Amino acid sequence: MTIFLYKVDRFGHFYWGSNEILEYSKRRWFVNVGDTILFARGRGDELHFFGTSTVLDVNVEVQEQKTINEDSERLYVTKLQLDEVESLPSDRTLGAFMFSLTRVSNFSKPYLNFRHLGRIEEADLETLISGTINTRRSLYFGLLRHLPADWRAYLEYSSMAENSAKGRYEIDRTFPIYELQGLINKLVIQPLEISSETEPAFRKSLARMGLENPYVEAKLPDHDSESNIVRERQASRWSISKLINRAPGLLRDIQPSWKMINELLPENQEYIDTRRDGNKEWRPHRW
């Protein structure tokens, strides 16, 4: 059995009353009796998977048509007779399930992995039918997707390296979500917590010393003094006082989401190879 994605708002026609598909294409659609059709509509992350059906009959006609240049080309007209359409729940969107679908390898534009008449893995169809979210995969790729490119690359490779050092990554092909969680905690959450605790005393001490807006200046050392002068002018600068003053507000904004992420992660870090919690397949991905 092969599973095909059919977008009802693309070229071709799906006749609801008679459960027929009439598809016009320049390439032959190799669909057979017994195959499954997964229906979808919409664009981008809002691509909505709304039903499935089984192919009962296939009829293919080949027509010749003229192009703009008066050349002749083949046009395949595929007519399918389908069984009754079984509806999926209304929440089956690509944006909600993309991280749990093994077909997705492009996380910046996941809809590119779901083309009209394209094939769908059986495991992904089961995921959409059951509505089961893969927690580890979703948290790992979901957190990374919403980070700036430089931070994403650093945290992804660092968490993968830590995971590999523990001997789990290549053996079990697990997503290093626990390592990523630890890195974010050390780089973001803990500094915000420390800054929030010290903010009142820090602000008072600065005021007493008359240092209301001190700066830390990062410089790139160079033996060439002339080059060093240029680099000093281009050095990155940031205000310690502003960072610490903003820490309590930032921590309040982040804490609810961070608490939810920690609650979603299962306590048992061991890899469980099941349809419900297993990673099913590791595929190279792109951002």
Query: Helices 135-145 and 177-184, interaxial angle, to 10°?
Result: 40
Which pLDDT does position 165 carry in this prediction? 85
| Model pLDDT, residue 94 | 97
CB atoms within 10 A of CB 144: 19
| Contact status, residue 180 vs residue 157, Cβ threshold 8 Å | no
Per-residue pLDDT tens digits for 35-68: 999 999 999 999 999 999 999 999 999 988 776 6
pLDDT (tens digit, 9 = 90+) per residue, 136-150? 888 999 999 888 998
CA–CA distance, 92 with 127 (Å, rounded to integer): 10
pLDDT in tens, 107-122: 989 999 999 999 999 9
Beta strands in 114-188 (DSSP E): 119-120
Sign, CA dihedral 31-37-42-43, equals negative
**Tokens (6 digits) for 227:** 């080059």
pLDDT, average across residues 65-85 = 85
Digit-coded pLDDT (tens) for 1-19? 899 999 998 766 888 888 9
User: What is the pLDDT at residue 72?
Assistant: 80
Q: Is 18 exposed, middle or buried (0-12, 13-18, 19+ CB in 10 A)?
A: exposed
Q: What is the pLDDT of residue 279?
A: 45
Both tokens of 276, joined, read 């419900």
In the chain, the percentage of residues whose pLDDT exceeds 90 is 51
Six token digits for residue 171: 């053996």
CA-CA-CA-CA torsion sign (139, 262, 158, 196): positive
List Cβ neighbours of 40 (8 Å cut-off, separation of 6 or more). Answer: 5, 6, 7, 8, 47, 48, 49, 50, 114
Read off the pLDDT of each residue in 220-239 and give the average, rounded to a whole number: 57
> What is the predicted pLDDT for the residue at 275?
40
Helices (H) and strands (E) in the chain, counts: 9, 10
Q: Is the pTM of this model over 0.85?
A: no
250-286: pLDDT as tens digits: 999 999 999 999 998 876 554 444 444 444 455 678 8
In which residue are the tokens 């099941």 written?
274
What pLDDT, on a 0 to 100 scale, did the predictor assign at position 42? 94
Average pLDDT value over all residues in the chain:
83
What's the mean pLDDT in 78-96?
A: 96
Lowest mean pLDDT of 63-77, 117-131, 172-186, name the range: 63-77
Mean pLDDT (whole number) for 209-224: 60
